[in-house]
Copies of this chain bind each other. A is one copy, B any other.
Amino acid sequence: MNTVVSFGEIMLRLSTERHLRFSQSKSFAASYGGGEFNVAVSLANYGIESEFVTRIPDNEIGHCALKEMRKMNVTSENVLFGGDRLGIYFLETGAGNRGSNVVYDRANSAIATIQPGTFDWEKILKGKTWFHWSGITPAISQNAADECLLAIKTAHKLGLTISCDLNYRSKLWKYGKTPADIMPELLQYCHVILGDIDTAYFMLGKEKVAPNYTDENALPSLYEKLFDHCTNLKIAATTLRYSINASHQKIGGILYDGEKIYKAAVKEVTPVVDRVGTGDAFMGGLIYGLLNPSFENQKTLEFAVAACCLKHTIVGDYNLATLEEIEHIIEGDGSAKVSR
């Protein structure tokens, strides 16, 4: 059986409800999530054996995060206790032409202050199928970036498939390094990369580029520069997002396998219940499709897009859509009748 190991941070998410602004809120909804953890939950939810590796503080808040992992059937046997705090992010959910707003409070978290070499990656990754990381972890701190590189190198050595969601966050990368300082080395081992082409170029320190995703003929040559840098790369994919407003999105996707451009039809998503984690839902769908022997690339891409669409209707960081619900969307049925 396939086992996917994801590595990254799990945070406490504190969000206002019913579109209240921060200054109006006398309470915050508390949940747990983070880019890579959200992918792990998606996979567990699809029946894949899914493990999450992180460090959490040995206090009550850390234990809450651990309980969440267990609840969602994500294996936590290599989670370490240590550090002082769980990273936090505050979320104010927008509506209409007011966007959602995130306030990060994740500096000095248990994973940001990890001593490189703390995890025994040989032991953790042995016998596993797939290793997933994202551009958030190396953005947190030099230590986290170093540990991430150790994990990637070990995964490479042990022959795991390696995937990365580029996940650029302008409010991170505060420790003195730019993506171009760090990401090229990490990305070169990847087999699967999810991200905008311009983001990929930026992280690899290449020239600025403004890809036209509707021009399918021009895309292969743009993606090829990723393949040039990442010699193991097999799949590059991009979520296409057209934001009408905070409550109305259109979602499509592009996948390139080094030979051919695959394209998924753009779907309407309105209203948006929760915008956060929709990219992670795409990533989870992408890995699921690539692991599923019965899926062609076109089906894989459509699965990722449909998973992403459904996540917009679900509160919280991670996707709770079922395989059956996603298949429904792929089959073009967005009518969403009452099931009774």
Contact = CB atoms under 8 A, between A and B. Distances in A.
A90 interface: yes
A102 B340 contact: yes
Interface string A260-273: 00000001111111
A101 B272 contact: no
Contacts of A169: 340
Contacts of A19: 273, 313-315
A23 B60 contact: yes
A70 B68 CA distance: 9
Given A98-B313, A272-B96, A336-B243, A107 B108 contact: yes
A315 B16 CA distance: 12
B60 A67 contact: no
A316 B243 contact: no
Task: List the number of copies, as a whole number.
Answer: 6
Contacts of A316: 24
Contact of A24 (B105, B267, B320): B320
A245 B107 contact: no
Given A14-B14, A23-B320, A67-B71, A338 B98 contact: no
Contacts of A297: none
A191 to B, nearest CB: 27
A19 B310 CA distance: 12
Interface string A25-53: 11111110000000000000000000000
A269 to B, nearest CB: 6
A97 B337 contact: no
Contact of A104 (B28, B171, B340): B340
A146 interface: no
Which of A88, A169, A321 has most B Cβ within 10 Å? A88
A23 B275 contact: no
Interface string A100-142: 1111110110000000000000000000000000000000000
A84 interface: yes
Contact of A339 (B26, B28, B101): B101
Contacts of A244: 334-335
Contacts of A21: 314-315, 320
A246 interface: yes
A55 interface: no
A171 B273 CA distance: 28
A96 B336 contact: yes
Contacts of A309: 96-97
A71 B70 CA distance: 5
A220 interface: no
Given A88-B88, A103-B61, A105-B85, A27 B29 contact: yes
6 contacts: A23-B64, A71-B71, A97-B329, A99-B335, A99-B336, A107-B108
* In the complex, the 3 A-B pairs of residues with the closest C-beta atoms, listed nearest first: A246-B336, A99-B336, A102-B340
Interface of A: 14, 17-31, 59-61, 63-64, 67-68, 70-73, 84-85, 88-90, 92, 94-105, 107-108, 169-171, 243-248, 267-273, 275-276, 309-310, 312-316, 320-321, 325, 329, 334-340
